[in-house]
Every structure is written in structure tokens, then in C-alpha cells.
Amino acid sequence: MTDFSVIGKPANANRSREIVTGQARYCPDIRLPGMLVGKLLYPKIPCARITRLDVTAARMLPGVVTVLTARDIPGENSYLYALPADQPLLVLDVVRYQGDALVAVAAETEEAAQAALDAVQVEYEPLVGVYDVLEAMKPNAHQVWSDRGNVCDHLVIDHGDIEAGFKQADVIIENTFYTPLVEHAFMETEGAVAYPDAATMVVYSSCQAPHRDRMQIARSLGMPENRVRVITPHIGGAFGGKDEAHVQIHAALLAQASGHPVRLIRSREESILTHVKRHPVIIRYRSGITRDGKLTALHAEAIGDTGPYLNAGRDVMNFVASTLSGPYFVPNARLEAYTVFTNNPICGAMRGYGIPQASFAYEAQMDLLARAIGMDPLEMRMRNGLETGMQVPTGVTIREGRGMKVCLQEAAQLSGWKEHEKENRRPAPHLRRGWGMASIWFSIGMGRNITDHAAATLEMTLDGSVILLTGAADMGQGAHTALAQIAAEAIGVNLDAVKVVTPDTDRTFDAGPSVASRQTFISGNAVLRAAQPIRDALLQTANEITGFPINILQLREGLVLAEGEVLSLTMAELAAKAAQRNRSLHADGFYAMEYPEQLPPNSYRYAPAVYTYGTQVAQVLVDIETGQVTIEKLVAVQDAGKVINPGGARGQIEGGVIMGLGYALMEELLVDQGSTQNPNLGTYLIPTAKDVPELTVKIMEIPEPYAPFGAKGLGEPPLTPTAPAILNAVVDAIGIPLYRIPLTPERILAAIDSQRAENPENGN
């Protein structure tokens, strides 16, 4: 099917009317009778033994209804994202980072809740802690866990023979790259509202994984899962930071203990201090290349500071390792990743899941390789770019790889890459202009041997309208809009005939978490599977009524057609007739990620199957007096498989690029001895409208054979090429290699100053 009536056509976001009128309810907007205010107590020092924790006085205060410590949790006192479940909900003995919660309170007012926290008596015996990832790896370092070692995981992916590969190289270069600790800064902080309703605990949760929330809440409340009901209201952004549970379990515990509805919303400062971050990673690269620009060998080693708890840390670092070779054919590679415990903030999922760090490093290294052999960066990438049928170090053979070079060439074309040399590189004595490019590959879905499936349910009513029930959370990325479009196209109705029932674990089935850019692909396939039997029932009925054979009948935009001619039979009549004939007009669809190809023995266990590609080109102007970088132009070309919703796709790409721009230029959480120094949006800066340059966005549609209508995920990939493209452009502008983001004015000036110190006669 190529002639779509809904797919790829402009459509407003599902529920956008509620948003623009202020009617959209997010967790902080939910009001229930008798609702209490929940709050959590966080420690004053990031690493300590608790010698005394006394809540007696807090419990006596007026307006205070419930005060909970670790001892008061009826079920398991831990989050459960990955095993071992090492992170307590409430800490009893040892504080391992600034975001550990000690006490949960529920009170009649905000003031009473704060007073209760102030009245808790805590005494600490400070521990020395470990706050530097390289220190943490040393044998005599402070051990974050007495029984686990600070190196939580060391993954090695071996491919080919790197010794032989380095022997074939004409040039070998080694560099070390550094990425910062980064904050999600979703505009709505983490929150939940919980209330007991008869024997069920109902929890409104601002989350990415409602069904995983249900399991975790039930486990800690000591209730069966069917007695916990998780509902997602509107969600004000997430970007990975609401993948693991945050305060929803605490809110439910407080509601259970108090018998009242409890609202628990983190303040902005609490949010920044507590939730998981994007890992700061140190990446060492050793690459071998021939004079004519062919990569022969690569040894890359990534070290990630994951904080004190497992969370998604090991999984993210595994993604780093599996991505380190980039969208290039590397015949011999050793890719390593260390996941290291410290007493710094916990790191886990953030948009990109390790791939932004890896992409930054391999693309910076690609340009330095090109520079080392005097080759144009575009030519260098064309010579090594992945193609269909090539095998990558994880053992996967690329089944659709055209996107790499198609995006690269398109970006080069759109940005006028070959004409740069004619442009003025020195528009003023203090200004330097430069160009940089970066290409990425990005895996869609969670990876082999990891649970990765979704259910969706469709019902056609007797007037021909459709209800789509999905358990997939929409945090703003547009999943519900895209899924409604897929449903409308697959059944043959208009988009406005589809209503979306949003996640509610009493009504919708598990679609897995909204992560890994997976919902369009996986829930999309589940919707297709749910649509098929409904469409079949309608067509069968139409055949019986009209006598036309099924192969000439068509359902489209709510009409019934035979050989393209609209029949007088309406969709409503057809639906009613089908029901009269005892045909089911509702169906569940279930889809699990498919891995049809067999990998060679000893391949990377979690190797993904589907990749998407993109290239970005940045033009920058650097003020060598102030160190200020201005992005003059940014071209983003992204493979999307097939665009489901043009507005949503554009939003995801532009939004990704802007987040990538922040990563490149300004975003860094500053942590001193485990304490975050910039825990608010006035000191942790994210891009504003004035920081965004002229963006040229182009989407390439190279259909993915296993995807719904060919559509691949688009949520994360567009942010990954931005930072390396900008870094490469800055390096091109000032002629000095740089290895660390963000590119703050201070860092750029320091690089220029050190260059001047080395070459005092060089006026540059």
C-alpha cells in the first residue's frame, strides 16, 4: 500500500485542544477530596551512615497524618528496574547519594508536611565516599558497596582480530573524549497522586511505564497486582527520566498508610538532585586507518560513572559499547564498557540511552582521523559508511542500511558542504567560521534477549467509530497520535473517527515502556495486528451484502469502495450488519520484536535488529576573544522509515536537535563531592528560543521491512549527531582539537590560550 489516506498526512496532536485551552490535567492539577500533601526527606550529606533516625516529634505535629520510614513499608523496600534491586525506597542505614530518601510524610498542608520533615531527627556518621570514576576503579578506593566492588560491569565485544587490523593500518591515532553529566529538565517534575478506592490502590503517575509501575507499587504495598491501578494523566515530558519509578511508589505507600488521597510532586530542586541522569562517560579511542581512508581496526573503551545504584546504568553502558563503532564498517574491533559505582548522582535512561555519548566520541574521532590523513570528512565517511549486508561488531548483519549514505549525501548537499571553502572563514579579526558534520546510527527497540513487546486493542462501534486502547505512555512525543493514525489507516476510517483510551492498567494492556524509540514500531505493529481481524470481518460482511469479491472491495476514510467506486453502503451500516452476523468487531493485537536472523556464536547477547541513520551539518562562528560559539546554520537529515505524522516528526527532530545543541554548548551538572552545585533552571541552562539557529530539517523515508507502514522510531536519534557536528565545526573554525563537551566559552578560551602558549609566534 503506498497511497495512504491518513498516514503521513498533517494531523494535530491527540488531545492538543485540551492542552491549548489549559484543560489538560497533569499530576499537579489533580484535586481530590481530603487529599494530603506528600513530601520526602533527603539527606544533608551524600555519603554517610545513619546513626539515628527519630520521627517521633514529626508524628506529633498538627496537620501531620502519616510519617513513614523504611520500617513501615509492608512489602519490598526497593525499586525494581533491574536485578539486583539495590535501591531502597527509603534508606535505613547507609546514605549512598544526595537523592536517597529517608522519610515520607503526608500532611494536610504543604507547610505542615515541611514542618514534619524539619522535625525529623537524623544523625549521620559521614563516610569518605568516592566521587571520581577513575579513583573508584582503583583497588584501594572507597567501596560504594562492601560486597560488590565498584566496577559493576565490564562488557567486551570482540570482533575480528584487532592486532591484525592495527598491523594493516598506515596511521593509528589515540584520543580520549569526555561527556558531561546531563539533566532531563522535563518541564513537569516527577509526580503522582494515589488514593485507595475500595480494595484497589489507584495511582495517577507521570511515567513512561505504567505497567511496570503497577508491578513495582504492588510489590512494595504487599498487594496483588490486580489491586493496583495505574493511570497516566497528561505527562509533561520525560526523556527517559520517568522510565524508572520515582515518587509513585511513595505516594501509594502514603495513601495506603493514611487512607487518604496523597499528592506527591517533586520541587524543581528535588527533581534535579534526585532522579537519574545521563552518564558522564570517558571514552578512549585507538583507531587504525589506511592512507586511502579505510578503517582497519578500532579499540574503544568507555567508562561510565553510574552513581551508587544499578538502575539502567549497566544497560546504558552496554548500549554505549555496542554503538562505539558508529555507522561504519570496521572489520576488527574491541568495544569495551565499564559501569562504575560512585557516590555521585545515579545515571540511567536519558533520551539516547548511551548512544549520544558514543556518537559524540566516534564522530569526533572520525574527524581527527580524516585530519590525520588529510582527507575531507565527507569523503572519509562515504568510504567507510555502512551498507546493507555488512556485518557490525555485535554480530548483526545490517538488513536495511541505505539510510547511512543517503542521509550523509543529502546533508552534504543541503548544507553546501563542497562550497564551504569559498566562504569567508575569518569574517572579522576576532571571528572564525567553521563547518562540521556527524553521522550516526541508532538502534530501535530494546535489544535481543530483552522483553520487548506491546499489546493494543481496537473496537469498532456500531456507528463506525473506533476506540483504540493503548497502554503506551505518551509523554509528548506523539505516540497516541501516531497509533491513532495507524489504526485509522489500517481499518479504513478517518482519523477523527478514532478515540484513544490512554494508559489505565484496569482498561489497557501492557505496551511496555515508552523508551528506546520503540512505540511507533512495536505498539504500531500491535495496532496493525488488532486492526486486521476487524477489517477482515467488515470486508467479509461487505462481500456478503454487495456480492463484490473481497479483492476488489476497499475500506478507506470511512467509506466502502469497490474498484475505487464509493458504494452507498456506509461504514456504520457495515459495522451494524457485521455485528448482526455475529462477527467480532474488537480485537487485541500483540507484537514482540522479531529477530529472524541468527547471529554467529559468541555475538553480543543484546544486539538489536533495526537501525536508523542520520547526518547533521553545523556551521559555527567562534569569537576567539570571548570563546562564544554561535551556530549559524544547522542541517539535520534523518531517516524515519516512513513518517506517520509530519508535525510530530518535525517536533521530534527539531526538539532533538535543540536538546543536542544544549548538550554541545551549555548543559552540565556540576557535582562537588557528590553534591550538585546547579540544581535549578537558572544555573543549569537549557536552550531557549534565542539559542536556536536556523534549522533545516529533512526526513528521508527508507522503509523498514518489519515496521508498521515502514515507520521506524524517531524519538531519540535526532539528538545524537548534533553535539559532534557542532564540536567538529568548532574544531574546524579554530584549528585546535577539542575532546570535551559542553563547549563553554571558558573551555574554548582555555584551548586557544594553551595553543598560543605552545606556538607563541602563531597569531591564530
Partner 1 sequence: MDEIEVHLNVNGLPRSVQTLPCSTLLEILRDKLDLTGTKEGCGVGDCGACVVLMDGQAVNACLVLAAQADGSEIITVEGLAQDGQLHPLQHYFAEKWALQCGFCTPGMIMSCYALLLNNPNPSPDEIREAIAGNLCRCGSYQGVVEAVLATAKISAETRHD
Closest contact distance (angstroms) between CB of 12 and partner 1 is 5
Task: List residues bridging with 611 in a β-sheet.
Answer: 443
Binding region for partner 1 (CB under 8 A) out of 10-18, 192-200, 411-419, 422-430: 10-18
**Which residue in 186, 341, 360, 441 binds partner 1 (CB under 8 A)?**
186
Closer Cβ to partner 1, 141 or 723, answer by number: 723
Tell whether residue 651 is a contact of partner 1 (CB under 8 A).
yes
Strand, helix or coil at 114? Answer: helix
Closer Cβ to partner 1, 184 or 250, answer by number: 184
Task: List residues bridging with 695 in a β-sheet.
Answer: 634
Question: What's the start-to-end Cα distance of the chain, in Å?
Answer: 58
**Which residue in 233, 280, 656, 724 binds partner 1 (CB under 8 A)?**
656
623 burial type by CB count under 10 A (0-12 exposed, 13-18 middle, 19+ buried): middle
CA distance 579 to 143: 66
Write the CB contacts of 163 (distance below 8 Å, at least 6 apart in sequence). Answer: none
Tell whether residue 414 is a contact of partner 1 (CB under 8 A).
no
Write the CB contacts of 689 (distance below 8 Å, at least 6 apart in sequence). Answer: none
Helix (H) / strand (E) element for 246: namely none
CA distance 144 to 342: 6
10 burial type by CB count under 10 A (0-12 exposed, 13-18 middle, 19+ buried): exposed
Q: What angle do CA 165, 169, 174 make, to 5 degrees?
A: 90
Closer Cβ to partner 1, 589 or 721, answer by number: 721
Tell whether residue 682 is a contact of partner 1 (CB under 8 A).
yes
Binding region for partner 1 (CB under 8 A) out of 76-84, 119-127, 426-434, 644-652: 644-652
Closer Cβ to partner 1, 21 or 146, answer by number: 21
Taking CB under 8 A as the criterion, which residues in 244-303 touch partner 1?
267-268
Tell whether residue 184 is a contact of partner 1 (CB under 8 A).
yes
**Which residue in 376, 588, 623, 654 binds partner 1 (CB under 8 A)?**
654
CA distance 280 to 550: 58
Binding region for partner 1 (CB under 8 A) out of 8-16, 59-67, 159-167, 365-373: 8-16
Closer Cβ to partner 1, 233 or 492, answer by number: 233
**Which residue in 659, 711, 714, 748 binds partner 1 (CB under 8 A)?**
659
Are 242 and 35 in contact by the 8 Å Cβ rule? The answer is: no
DSSP characters over 139-194: TTSPPSSTTT-SEEEEEEEEES-HHHHHHH-SEEEEEEEE---B----SSPPEEEE
At residue 668, what is the residue type? E
CA distance 91 to 50: 9
Tell whether residue 670 is a contact of partner 1 (CB under 8 A).
no
Binding region for partner 1 (CB under 8 A) out of 9-17, 373-381, 422-430, 548-556: 9-17
C-alpha cell at 152: 559493576
Tell whether residue 420 is a contact of partner 1 (CB under 8 A).
no
Are 436 and 367 in contact by the 8 Å Cβ rule? The answer is: yes
What number of chain residues touch partner 1 (CB under 8 A)? Answer: 54
**Which residue in 82, 127, 375, 681 binds partner 1 (CB under 8 A)?**
681
260 burial type by CB count under 10 A (0-12 exposed, 13-18 middle, 19+ buried): buried
Site map for partner 1, 225-244, x if CB under 8 A? Answer: ---------xxxxxx-----
Burial per residue of 667-703, b for 16 or more beta-carbon CB atoms within 10 angstroms, e otherwise: bbbebeebbbeebeeeebbbbeeeeebebebebbebe
Closest contact distance (angstroms) between CB of 15 and partner 1 is 8
Binding region for partner 1 (CB under 8 A) out of 98-106, 146-154, 501-509, 645-653: 645-653
Are 113 and 99 in contact by the 8 Å Cβ rule? The answer is: no
CA distance 238 to 476: 8
Tally of CB atoms within 10 A around 103: 22
Site map for partner 1, 353-392, x if CB under 8 A? Answer: ----------------------------------------
Binding region for partner 1 (CB under 8 A) out of 474-482, 570-578, 620-628, 724-732: 474-482
**Which residue in 146, 582, 688, 762 binds partner 1 (CB under 8 A)?**
688
**Which residue in 4, 9, 28, 166 binds partner 1 (CB under 8 A)?**
28
Tell whether residue 657 is a contact of partner 1 (CB under 8 A).
yes
Closest contact distance (angstroms) between CB of 409 and partner 1 is 25
Binding region for partner 1 (CB under 8 A) out of 141-149, 503-511, 523-531, 682-690: 682-690
Binding region for partner 1 (CB under 8 A) out of 186-194, 284-292, 325-333, 404-412: 186-194
Write the CB contacts of 488 (distance below 8 Å, at least 6 apart in sequence). Answer: 6, 466, 494, 495, 497, 498
Tell whether residue 31 is a contact of partner 1 (CB under 8 A).
yes
Taking CB under 8 A as the criterion, which residues in 187-206 touch partner 1?
187-189
CA distance 665 to 658: 11
Site map for partner 1, 548-587, x if CB under 8 A? Answer: ----------------------------------------
Closer Cβ to partner 1, 268 or 284, answer by number: 268
Closer Cβ to partner 1, 479 or 555, answer by number: 479
Taking CB under 8 A as the criterion, which residues in 690-729 touch partner 1?
690, 692, 695
Closest contact distance (angstroms) between CB of 23 and partner 1 is 7
Closer Cβ to partner 1, 8 or 687, answer by number: 687
CA distances (Å), origin 582, targets 462, 579, 586:
13, 5, 12
Closer Cβ to partner 1, 22 or 429, answer by number: 22
Are 616 and 411 in contact by the 8 Å Cβ rule? The answer is: yes
Closer Cβ to partner 1, 547 or 682, answer by number: 682
Query: In degrees rounded to 5, what are phi and psi of residue 530?
Result: -70, -30
Binding region for partner 1 (CB under 8 A) out of 157-165, 220-228, 430-438, 469-477: 469-477
**Which residue in 19, 375, 462, 736 binds partner 1 (CB under 8 A)?**
19
CA distance 553 to 258: 60
| Backbone angle region of 661, left / alpha / beta, with phi > 0 → left and psi within -120 to 50 → alpha | alpha
Tell whether residue 634 is a contact of partner 1 (CB under 8 A).
no
Tell whether residue 658 is a contact of partner 1 (CB under 8 A).
yes
Binding site for partner 1 (CB under 8 A): 12-13, 16-17, 19-26, 28-29, 31, 184-189, 234-239, 267-268, 475-478, 647-648, 650-652, 654-659, 680-682, 686-690, 692, 695
